[in-house]
Structure 1
């Protein structure tokens, strides 16, 4: 049988559904697996695991304590800085921090020649100052100034390392201070100077600069507060205005004016480097103290500026090749002796202790001052041994007492030194004799009157016999008053003084300006009294001006800076008449003979009419020459500070040569002018002695006596026969 009847199934694939399969249900174990994946590897067990757990706990504890302490410290610091921030004044109040004022002195032409006190040249800013100066300060003091927040941890760490390596304490020596920290010190951390606190200004400044740990911490806080309050340029401006830069100058502007005679806005790279170099040690490095040392320091600053990119190699080379030099006024060392004298003679509240900025116009002539300094130097360089310790002083003035130049010692470029022209009281010797003759001429004596120069003694109560002698130990017999002064004879001077009366001579000298106590005995006529060179020169000016007293002066007017009206004017000048004008003119005639024919012949120069008087004290301890032309009066003193006798020096020697070298330079280019002198009338013979003088000691006038000696007759009337005789003369002053 066939099986075809059986139906076969069609050869087709099974029908597939188009529906997506259902998602597989997540396993309940999946979350636990993920948690196990996030968990750290299982901890070790045993001893290692125990110690590991302890270490982890300690670290967590340290971290917790540290961040909390840090947060507390940061909060405290923020509060402290914030408090200091609120106490800081406006910027303008911090730019001039001087406790005292300044004195600026002008010469007779109105040019600045000296400074005293705390000099402040005016406010400058970091934007207006010369870029060279600004860059030099940053390169030298704080090269990361514009990058830190007031304190430089790197700088402090470096300073501590250097201090320890050099065997000092960590805070001793290098401080690592930023400019901001230095400003904080300049502001004394906001603690103003209080004179009532019992501290001196010097002690206050010292306390502001102490370096204790607590002080450093407060300094850091103050610095950060300033950084928050002021801009970087503001802080730099405070520094440039308040920093002391030597020579009495506070701030860059005052220093630039003081040393270079220009504004801080215009200083060159070399000048800016020198100013920046002063900040390290302003007194030691001051160019007025040691220019070479200051230039060496500036060279170092220039190298720093080049290294930090503030100067190109060519600019640095030019600055090194042309170092900064002082201005002419700065080279004068702040006016020297003359400026010191003006400061000491002016009102204290406007000079030594001024709290204001004062301008004083003076009588100084800088050309004449240089002439005096050069004249003194020339004589000592060419006429005196290098090893000599002898000193000299010079005063030059006009006939009205206006002092034009003053040299108080051989070291002319000084300030605050002992001034031998104004402070040294020295015996005047024969330089005093013109006052003896001035008294006689005012009473009517004539330059042609005669006197006997012969041995002469006086009995002095309580001292015994006193017998003066001439310098030459010789006697000239009958001489005129003119010749007696010309040759500086001692015996005629004493006789005239005794005839006129010592009281009269003392009064004349005092009224001419000799302020010291004058000798009471007969040695008065020979200059046994002491005086200063300034007084003597002023007294001779009275002779030149016609017989009126003179008060030497150096101050013309004084005013506050910025004011046009003077607070005070001249404190000296011509005063009351002392002797008659004709007597003064006759005395000038006699003193002219001293230079043209007598002991002062070395003073002659250029054919000018000159008058003066030499002076040498006993034992040659002092030598003088004081004289004048028609234009100027000059006095010269020479001697030793310890009164050692001069060897081979008299008033007619080296002092006269110093006078000539000074006056010849002073008169360079001036026309020849005659002296105001009178030729005396011809003498007449007096046959009868004059009546006995009155008890005051004032002798009657003599009208000339070419044959007899009327003065000797008067002396015989007063003292009997004590004049003359064969008594042996005792030593006395005199000169050549």
Structure 2
């Protein structure tokens, strides 16, 4: 019999329902119409009751889900708190945090207050946000952190947007860092890319937002962010790329600067202008969208995009700045804030000097195989007005004006003549221009010609080597060295016979400084470029007072030297350098094998020296003091002296040679002088009586003609 059946029970179902079982509850009472009290239809009489479905417990599931979420959230908060606490522990204590001082900037100004260059680690001074046009800081907010004024240092919306765009673009397209986070990274952290660093960045950003107002944070950012090319801060970037202060940039330039910080190397306008302009257009669009710039202004900026300023003549002002940095410690040993250095340099003269030198080298440097040059120009008191250390600073930062030591050749002879004058000689003293031998050394004149008995005035003007060597032997090489040193030459000098011909190496700055004593009447000169130093708030830190070496030449000797060196412009090797209306004096110089070409000349108000040659000492193709250097000197000095009242050379009038016609000047030089008169087609008075060597040639020989060519084209 089947289980659960009772015999004879017929169809009676004796199985217990769920509600009939113990603990199953009480059976529902039946109601009318075959329904129970809950409205459910009762099972048919005498039939099997339909099995009931278990009730769904929706509330319990959602509750458990919510509970699990809360638990997980709490654990997440604990985990995040632990991570934050751990990474915060790697930072200095919050109460000890402080914004690091920005490395000081050295602003180097010309004599008129205009900026020559910035030096220091940052490349520019600190600027206040109120100094800037409003659209400049807004450009950074628009492109880097448009919710800058609304978040607390970390922007969850920006992070979510960056993640979304990065995922949709299948690559890293955006970063989620706020300006505050970027500042925190720049101030406190390394450039490392890691989750740990991002957490520390966020912690520090929150601290910055708590510590500083929004505009203070933005100002810190604008002065610390890197713009490429060694420029840290918006002032340095504006000067570097546009040649102007940040307060003067246009809307287009501000947009370019704002876009630059994303990738300074790739977007630098002086390296990749199309990319920089495209990025600037994005910045302008963002500024217009946010209401930071008017549509019409944006339209103009897009039509006239920013362009980097061209290199201003190769950047020769940097040679001045380098000199300033070399000597600054002598004036201001220590400083930890921005300082301003006022120099003696005149921007107009600096530009004129650079143009004269570069144009001459570009035009004739190849023909004469001259690769480099230097120029120094100073007032007779030693204040440097222009200094060019090379052909192109961008190509070579070596400062040839201050550092290159080269043989001065015949431009050293004035020290020999001065030593002789101080021992009784005068411009009219006569010496023999004839072959001379000192041991195994037999110096010769440039022309290989000899003039016989000549005055010292004429011998210096024509740069006769044998006379200079004779004078050097008379006074002694040691006296020549002492005379040069007394006038300011500091390089080591060899006291030997060849010192009279300038075989010991010196710098252009030394030579020009030494000639200053002739121009100022006999006071020794110490060349200087720094006039004053102030803190950024105007506090004086240094001001140049009276200086110099005191009197180093007797006034009468100064007059004689000026008269002799004036003759160089009248009948000597610098004739082509003469400037009408001015009393000028100077001396050319050419070293052995034409390796160096010099000319140092002066008026009563300005002393200027020019050196040309090659850095490796390779001989030039007959470049000498009388050609290229004199041409550069005249081009520059014509600009420098323009508009000034002529200044007499100290003491020269007493010893000035009596005025003569061109022919008489020419005739005064023996066969060479006679040749000048013949070729110039002017009458020649009878030559003055003087001792003449035997068998003097009666007419101009080919050698004489060669010498004339050298004298007015290639000669010293």
Decide: shared fold, TM above 0.5. Answer: yes
The verdict on how the C-alpha distance between 1:317 and 1:506 changes in structure 2, with shifts beyond 3 A counting, is same
The verdict on how the C-alpha distance between 1:453 and 1:159 changes in structure 2, with shifts beyond 3 A counting, is farther
1:691-706 paired onto structure 2 within 5 Å: none
Instruction: Answer yes or no: is 1:494 the counterpart of 2:469.
Output: yes
Structure 1 alignment gaps of length 5 or more: 1-26, 46-51, 190-207, 460-464, 684-704, 710-733
Find the counterpart in structure 2 of residue 456 from structure 1.
436
> SS of the residue aligned with 1:657?
helix
Separation of aligned partners in 2, 1:481 and 1:458: 21
Find the counterpart in structure 2 of residue 140 from structure 1.
143
Find the counterpart in structure 1 of residue 337 from structure 2.
356
CA contact (8 A) 2:568 2:585 kept: yes
Separation of aligned partners in 1, 2:464 and 2:278: 59
Separation of aligned partners in 2, 1:292 and 1:513: 53
Find the counterpart in structure 2 of residue 403 from structure 1.
384
Q: How many residues are matched?
A: 618
Q: Which moved more, 1:540-549 or 1:483-492?
A: 540-549
Find the counterpart in structure 2 of residue 67 from structure 1.
73
Q: Map Cα deviations across residues 248-281 of structure 1 (whole Å, 9 max, x no partner).
A: 6654456557777887566531232233234235
Separation of aligned partners in 2, 1:624 and 1:582: 27
- Which of residues 414, 435, 438 is equivalent to 1:434? 414
1:72-221 paired onto structure 2 within 5 Å: 72-73=78-79, 75-76=81-82, 94=99, 97-117=100-120, 118=122, 121-122=125-126, 124-125=128-129, 129-146=132-149, 150-151=154-155, 152-154=158-160, 156-157=162-163, 161=167, 165=171, 175-189=175-189, 208-221=190-203
Q: Map Cα deviations across residues 580-601 of structure 1 (whole Å, 9 max, x no partner).
A: 1111111111111112211111
CA contact (8 A) 1:430 1:616 kept: yes
Q: Map Cα deviations across residues 546-576 of structure 1 (whole Å, 9 max, x no partner).
A: 2221100111222323244x33332784323
Separation of aligned partners in 2, 1:162 and 1:476: 91
Instruction: Answer yes or no: is 1:369 the counterpart of 2:359.
Output: no
What displacement does 1:282 show?
5.1
- Which of residues 594, 600, 606 is equivalent to 1:626? 600
Q: Which moved more, 1:174-183 or 1:537-546?
A: 174-183
Separation of aligned partners in 1, 2:179 and 2:618: 55
Normalised to the residue count of structure 2, the TM-score between the two structures is 0.75
Separation of aligned partners in 1, 2:390 and 2:545: 25
CA contact (8 A) 2:589 2:625 kept: yes
What displacement does 1:343 show?
1.6
CA contact (8 A) 2:368 2:623 kept: no
What displacement does 1:360 show?
2.0
Separation of aligned partners in 2, 1:107 and 1:595: 32
What displacement does 1:411 show?
1.3
Separation of aligned partners in 2, 1:367 and 1:454: 47
The verdict on how the C-alpha distance between 1:74 and 1:28 changes in structure 2, with shifts beyond 3 A counting, is farther
CA contact (8 A) 1:350 1:356 kept: no
Find the counterpart in structure 2 of residue 301 from structure 1.
283
Instruction: Answer yes or no: is 1:600 the counterpart of 2:544.
Output: no
Find the counterpart in structure 2 of residue 344 from structure 1.
326
> SS of the residue aligned with 1:568?
strand
Q: Which moved more, 1:137-146 or 1:502-511?
A: 137-146
What displacement does 1:336 show?
1.5
Find the counterpart in structure 1 of residue 645 from structure 2.
671
CA contact (8 A) 1:439 1:504 kept: yes
The verdict on how the C-alpha distance between 1:545 and 1:131 changes in structure 2, with shifts beyond 3 A counting, is closer
Find the counterpart in structure 2 of residue 23 from structure 1.
none
Find the counterpart in structure 2 of residue 49 from structure 1.
none
1:284-683 paired onto structure 2 within 5 Å: 298-299=280-281, 301-306=283-288, 310-324=292-306, 333=315, 335-347=317-329, 350=332, 354-385=335-366, 390-411=371-392, 417-459=397-439, 465-564=440-539, 566-570=540-544, 573-676=547-650, 677-680=652-655
CA contact (8 A) 1:403 1:553 kept: yes
What displacement does 1:143 show?
3.4
What displacement does 1:368 show?
1.3
The verdict on how the C-alpha distance between 1:599 and 1:298 changes in structure 2, with shifts beyond 3 A counting, is farther
What displacement does 1:647 show?
1.1
Structure 2 alignment gaps of length 5 or more: 1-27, 42-51, 659-687, 693-713
CA contact (8 A) 2:370 2:612 kept: no
What displacement does 1:68 show?
3.7
> SS of the residue aligned with 2:366?
coil
The alignment yields a C-alpha RMSD, in angstroms, of 4.3
